[in-house]
Amino acid sequence: MATLRSAKIGETVTVKKLNGEGAVKRRIMDMGITKGTEVYVRKVAPLGDPIEVTVRGYELSLRKQDAEMVEI
């Protein structure tokens, strides 16, 4: 199972599934990351946290922990 955390810089991936429960899953969905959405990985911080992505035309920074819940 590949996750958003494992995506490489410059890669465009499609979200297949959101893992997680309750408020955390709702927060990720509220940011625009839903099933079928294309996500472009722009940057990854030197220590790997956070990950900067482009979703639905806007830039978003995600913690590694949250990116791990997004299956691609």
Return the CATH number at 16: 2.30.30.90
Q: How many domains does the chain have?
A: 1
Find the domain containing 42 and state its range.
4-71
Give the E-state strand segments of the chain in sequence order: 12-14, 17-18, 38-44, 51-55, 58-62, 70-71
pLDDT digits (tens, 9 = 90+) for 5-50: 888 999 999 999 998 888 888 998 888 898 999 999 999 988 878 9
Q: What is the pLDDT of residue 59?
A: 93
Q: What is the pLDDT of residue 22?
A: 86
